[in-house]
Structure 1
Amino acid sequence: MNHEPRSAPSLFRVFGQRKMAALLFLGFSSGLPLYLTSSTLQAWMTVEKVDLTTVGMVSLLSVPYSLKFIIAPLMDRYVPFLGRRRGWLVITQVALLLCIAAMSLHDPRRGLQLLAINALLIAFFSAAQDVVVDAYSVDVLEEREMGAGASLKVMGYRLALIITGGVALMLADRMSWPTVYLLMAALMLVGVAASILAPEPVLREGPPSSLASAVVEPFLDFLRRAGVGTALVLLLFVVLYSLSDRMVQNMTVPFLLARGYSQSTIGEIRGVIGLVATIVGVLAGGGLVARLGINRSLWILAAIQMGSNLAYYWLSVSPSSRASLTTAIVVENFSGGLVTAGFVAFLMSLCSKQFSATQYALLSSFMAFARDVLVAPSGGLAAQTGWPQFFLITIAAGIPALLLLPYVAPWNRENPRGAAAHTGEVTDAPPADADDHPFGRV
């Protein structure tokens, strides 16, 4: 495998491919079910006067998302119709369409148990769809395309969250909640169409020979490719790389409220301007990876990630104003989008195409550890040190990952240590008149 930096492909060639359009729509399909079993469902239950204790228990429906690594070997091992990735995509998406539509048959006041079972099924099939979308992304992209693919997938995901978390609530003021859920179910057809029209990635090695092999071989493959010592360093890097950013994200809202900003102001700026900044950031991050490669992008993004926390430090020592709040949120969300595209590309590069579903699910679990566990003491730390010192500490939290970069992603190498080969090959050629194809040219 060639590790030397390659010349940069044109951004038009990278972003203009049919598989990139597929990733945008698959990202949309992946994000659609999330709020329908969390905040949007809680809104419906609250309107129907369900008690707050029960409403709070809705968070338990997210458990399947934490168990993706258990589902993933099935997706690596078995090949249904349409191919290993597209077949599973269609299966999970049709199941989601039916389950989301079935929510319209429930009444939260009279049949809460059946509604909860239905919502749990949505969460299960949603987690399964996420596994396959992530695996498809790994399989269909070559290294320089991974940042662009990640950025489009994130953009589609975010657009889905706007619809299910914002537009759905607006519609609920004008029609019944069962009708809203039927409309949301119909939007799953976007994912089904994308899966049928998307190119299937080439798998030259073949799927794992047995389910046991699909469980064990992903670990052995990663260890053989990287070596035990390097594998442990890579996993440590996965945990630490975004720690600086995660600490700030965990305490952003409490900090802003403590500074006297209203919930409406925070929601308005984060929900609109912040979202736009994130989308621009992920697209810019995809372009950066395409131009510089994964390794060099990780260096630049690590510095940007740490430096962006200075915006909140500045906000903590400056007089409160809408302009300063907007500036800090734009800086945070833009840099967060940049880092997301680069870091997801890094995770993709570590996954072998033969076991991509399982390996990506496991790596994302390590990433979630930093998001959910390591940042938990952030509140106590902020209370002890005060906000200005807390934000300086978050900058320092990025130093350990920075120290690992020379080993994990040497500046003069194309790909990180332990990276698998990714050619981005797909099976089906474009139609004779590719310009008329809904996904353009391959």
Structure 2
Amino acid sequence: MNPSWLSVYGRRRVLCLLGLGFSSGLPLALTGSTLQAWMASEKVDIRLIGIFSLVGLPYTLKILWAPVMDRFVPPWLGRRRGWILLTQLLLAGAILALGSFSPARHILIVGILALSVAFLSASQDIVIDAYRADVLPDEERGAGAATSVVGYRLAMLTSGALALILSDHLPWPHVYGLMAAAMGACALFTFLSPEPRNPHEAAPVPSTLREAVWMPLVDYFRRSGAVEMLAFIMVFKLGDAIAGAMTTPFLLDIGFTRTEVGTVNKAFGLAATILGTLAGGGILSRIGIHRSLWIFAFLQAVSNLGFTGLALLGRNYPAMVGAVAVENICGGLGTAAFLAFLMSLCNKRYTATQFALLSSLMAVTRVLAGAPTGFLVSTLGWPLFYAVSTLGAVPGILLLPRFAPWARSEEATAGRD
């Protein structure tokens, strides 16, 4: 019997993922937009600020060292929680160190420390993703994915918007010191998080590093349709990626102020995304991953048409609120289902490596899909651009019968344990 969509969120495994999701999301802005704001406030050359975007490279390359975290087990708290605790403590120290040096006077040291924070953050992402896939039974994967996303989004708000607000009242080193303290406090959730409770959930550790590197790929690619599955992963949220890349320039271009865009598209949009992810996780627990993917794929596609309507209306505040709400709710629904789907594909013996591979493909799509959007807008105009963006959902929908058939058991595409 399926649990109610609310009761599943009260389970310890699911609740602890809120804190682990927060821990995963906190460092991102501290080496990105928040660090850029600090550098700009100290009059660092804009060219150097642009170069600092390269410190985000570890997030796209994490597949290279994920096998190490599958192979070796720290001597405390077990295979997954041990690595989580270690990366959290190292991150707290690295963030504190990063905040101790002025970008204007110590740019090289700041660059090295920022790269270190990004590397440790990507490493933490690897093992938290693996832990989530290992510890959650099938019926809790949707709720667990949703809870993780909510925690992640709240953390980005904390290290992004809240950190900027604090910087108007406190010196930057103090702001980073507070963020480091918050990072250290996240270790509490690691201690509270449960271990997998039976051998089925806790698969044996690879016996050699070679096995940890090679066997996850062998295990994945020997499955029927493995390459096509990678294509499906890359295109499922393609329409969302195309539309999302231009949302802020679009809203500013049709006459909304920066304050209106920040309030509605960022703050209200975050609340809508959280609502969508939580609802998506609950729906998954009732109808399963495959049927949810079908429903949410069509909702994601249709939601882009709200911006077509707004483009035709022009500067209309209620229409903007409605379009942003629908797009973010539907995007949250799709994200919850898709993360649960990725978890179902991973063999628990190699979760860290396989999930790093699959999630990296999602990131590649987001980057590549955004590149041509400016040319499309200049050619098509805003109304037609958003109408055409709905076609980005078509490849994923066409592949749904192959990889997420409505009527077939979800075990058919799940990773072997």
TM-score (norm 2): 0.96
Alpha-carbon distance in structure 2 between the residues aligned to 1:300 and 1:416: 19
Q: Deviations over 1:157-193 (max 9, x none)?
A: 1111111111111111111111111111000123211
Q: Deviations over 1:293-328 (max 9, x none)?
A: 000000000110111011011111113211111111
Is the CA contact (8 Å cut-off) linking 2:306 and 2:323 kept in structure 1? yes
Structure 1 residues 399 and 104, CA, compared in 2 at 3 Å: closer, same or farther? Answer: closer
Moved over 4 A (4+): none
Q: After TM superposition, give the deviation of residue 12 of structure 1 in Å.
A: 4.2
Q: After TM superposition, give the deviation of residue 421 of structure 1 in Å.
A: 5.0
Q: Deviations over 1:99-122 (max 9, x none)?
A: 111123212222111111111111
Pairwise mapping of residues 18-417 of structure 1 onto structure 2 (< 5 A)? 18-80=12-74, 81-201=76-196, 202=198, 203-224=201-222, 226-227=223-224, 230-415=225-410, 417=412
Alignment gaps of 5+ in structure 2:
none
Is the CA contact (8 Å cut-off) linking 2:17 and 2:144 kept in structure 1? yes
Alpha-carbon distance in structure 2 between the residues aligned to 1:137 and 1:236: 24
Alpha-carbon distance in structure 2 between the residues aligned to 1:261 and 1:359: 43
Q: After TM superposition, give the deviation of residue 364 of structure 1 in Å.
A: 0.9
Q: Please, which moves more after superposition, 204-213 or 332-341?
A: 204-213
> Structure 1: which amino acid aligns with 2:65?
I
Is the CA contact (8 Å cut-off) linking 1:29 and 1:190 kept in structure 2? no
Alpha-carbon distance in structure 1 between the residues aligned to 2:241 and 2:330: 12
Structure 1 residues 104 and 390, CA, compared in 2 at 3 Å: closer, same or farther? Answer: closer
Alpha-carbon distance in structure 1 between the residues aligned to 2:2 and 2:25: 31
Pairwise mapping of residues 425-440 of structure 1 onto structure 2 (< 5 A)? none
TM-score (norm 1): 0.91
> Percent of aligned positions with the same letter in both sequences?
47
Structure 1 residues 107 and 375, CA, compared in 2 at 3 Å: closer, same or farther? Answer: closer
> Structure 2: which amino acid aligns with 1:333?
N
Alpha-carbon distance in structure 2 between the residues aligned to 1:366 and 1:109: 36
Q: Deviations over 1:32-76 (max 9, x none)?
A: 111111111111111112121112222111011111101210110
**Structure 2 SS opposite 1:398:** helix
Is the CA contact (8 Å cut-off) linking 1:293 and 1:414 kept in structure 2? no
Alpha-carbon distance in structure 1 between the residues aligned to 2:122 and 2:254: 37
**Structure 1 SS opposite 2:99:** helix
**Structure 2 SS opposite 1:205:** coil
> Structure 2: which amino acid aligns with 1:66?
T
Q: Please, which moves more after superposition, 141-150 or 276-285?
A: 141-150
**Structure 1 SS opposite 2:203:** coil
Q: After TM superposition, give the deviation of residue 334 of structure 1 in Å.
A: 0.8
Q: After TM superposition, give the deviation of residue 416 of structure 1 in Å.
A: 6.4
Alpha-carbon distance in structure 2 between the residues aligned to 1:389 and 1:272: 27
> Structure 1: which amino acid aligns with 2:36?
Q
Q: After TM superposition, give the deviation of residue 204 of structure 1 in Å.
A: 4.4
Alignment gaps of 5+ in structure 1:
1-6, 423-442
Is the CA contact (8 Å cut-off) linking 1:409 and 1:416 kept in structure 2? no
Alpha-carbon distance in structure 1 between the residues aligned to 2:241 and 2:411: 23
Q: Is the counterpart of residue 10 in structure 1 residue 4 in structure 2?
A: yes
Q: Give me the CA root mean square deviation.
A: 1.4
Q: After TM superposition, give the deviation of residue 205 of structure 1 in Å.
A: 3.4
Q: After TM superposition, give the deviation of residue 136 of structure 1 in Å.
A: 0.7
Q: After TM superposition, give the deviation of residue 347 of structure 1 in Å.
A: 0.8
